[in-house]
Amino acid sequence: MRKLVVFENVTVDGYFADKNGDLSWAHKPADSADFNKFVQENASSSDGGVLLFGRITYQMMVSYWPTSAALRDQPEVATGMNRAPKVVFSRTLDAARWENTALVKGDLPAEVRKLKQAEGGQITILGSGSIVSQLTKAELIDEYDLVVNPVILGEGRKLFEGVMDKVDLKLVSTRSFTNGNVLLTYIRPG
């Protein structure tokens, strides 16, 4: 069975976006060689994995990664993002307009169960807070890779909005970067 992983930037106070949906706090200037290398390595992974998005994150991603600016400023990451197979879940989009992207309108947990049963590499959710919440409630996420950014927003969107029941996790690794970010990797025990 394929592993389903969340990769998410969060603030020290637990937000993944500010109250207006802005994520610029997570995209600091390229002043951290070790973090930039980590991002490039993740983007260039070729394990046959799939990127999974909700509509809002998909629209944000498609507005940047296929552009000449992305290819100029972050060529390794842009190439990886554009090359990777992608799935966008949306009830309102009429088509996916980014290469290698499938649009799925069906029941999110049922469709993700099918993806997990299919052949291939890891499934990675980028952003997409409502999807993370729904799939956490459905107990379908195997690993949470949370990059804690050294910033406090005071208010915004919590990553696990709507999750009402306790979810036990096990910390399996940590990694700190020179820009102050800390990667925390958790798995669901059992």
Bridge pairing between strands 143-149 and 182-187? antiparallel
Provide the CB-side half-sphere exposure for 20 (13 A, CA): 3
Q: What is the DSSP letter of 29?
A: -
Whole-model pTM?
A: 0.92
Residues recorded for the chain = 190
pLDDT band at 94 (very low <50, low <70, confident <90, very high): very high
DSSP SS3 for 150: coil
Q: Is the model more confident about 77 or about 89?
A: 89
Query: Domain count of the chain?
Result: 1
pLDDT at 26: 87
pLDDT at 35: 87
Tens of pLDDT along 14-70? Answer: 999 999 988 889 876 556 888 888 887 777 666 678 999 999 999 999 999 999 999
Q: How far apart are CA 121 and CA 118, in angstroms?
A: 9
176's torsion region: left (phi>0), alpha (psi -120 to 50) or beta?
beta
Q: Is the model more confident about 190 or about 136?
A: 136
The arithmetic mean of pLDDT across residues 82-102, rounded, is 94
Which CATH number goes with the domain that contains 14? Answer: 3.40.430.10
Tens of pLDDT along 101-118? Answer: 999 998 999 999 999 999
DSSP 62-131: HTTTTSHHHHHHSHHHHHHHHHS-EEEE-SS-S---STTEEEE-S-HHHHHHHHHHSSSS-EEEES-HHH
- Using alpha carbons, select from 127, 121, 126 the residue that is nearest to residue 46: 121
Instruction: Using the Cα atoms of residue 145, residue 150, residue 152 and residue 156 in order, give the sign of their dihedral.
Output: negative
Full residue range of the structural domain in which residue 160 is found: 4-27+34-187
Q: Is the model more confident about 186 or about 24?
A: 186
pLDDT band at 169 (very low <50, low <70, confident <90, very high): very high
pLDDT(77) > 90:
no
